[in-house]
Amino acid sequence: MKYITLAATFLIVILFQVAIISGRTDAQQEIKFIGSAIEYFKGGLGGPYGWRVRVYDVVFGPQLEGYAVEVYLQSVPPPWGYMDPEIKPGDMVEAYGLYSADSGINHRVSLLGSEDYHLEKVTWLRPVGGYVLPVDKLSLLMPYLVSLTLLGAAVAAVVKTRRRD
């Protein structure tokens, strides 16, 4: 019974560390990703405007594959990044900007604060077979992480038992 508790505790610690490493708990950081433009949005006078983008592949930053993210500019003093005016719904785009989560519900990427930030149409990426599907890396790795955790708990139990002898 003691070893089951130890294994369960070890599993919880590993899962917590994976959640932290995945970047889903970080409030604000730079992100670069490839996605598909969903729809253009425009706020009121001086409000934010930009594109809702479905994230397919994250180059760096929070792992948001499969999420819809608002990539926006706003009428504020420079510096600000570049938003390609030729983007249309369904276009594959590359976004680089400052990610922030609004209470963990709305995911936003600001192009404000650096001239290096951008939202640009990419022409070199074409879906094969008709669809580009998002991949959640954490769900792919979870069975392996659980197996490694259980193996570690079993090895710890064996080592502890042999030390007693």
Q: What is the DSSP string of 116-152?
A: T-EEEE-SS---STT------HHHHHHHHHHHHHHHH
Report how far residue 20's alpha carbon sits from residue 13's, in angstroms, rounded to the nearest whole number.
11
Q: Could you read off the pLDDT of 116-127 as tens digits, one per residue?
A: 999 999 877 555
- What's this model's pTM, rounded to 2 decimal places? 0.58
Query: pLDDT confidence of 141, banded at 50, 70, 90?
Result: confident
Query: In this predicted model, what pLDDT tens digit does every residue of 47-57 receive, in sequence order?
Result: 889 999 999 98
Structural domains of the chain, with CATH = 2-164 (2.40.50.140)
Check if the beta carbon of residue 71 is closer than 8 Å to that of residue 95: yes
**Looking at this protein, which amino acid is placed at residue 107?**
H
Q: What pLDDT is recorded for position 118?
A: 94
Residue 134: count of CB within 10 angstroms of its CB: 15
| Gap between the Cα atoms of 66 and 123, Å rounded | 21
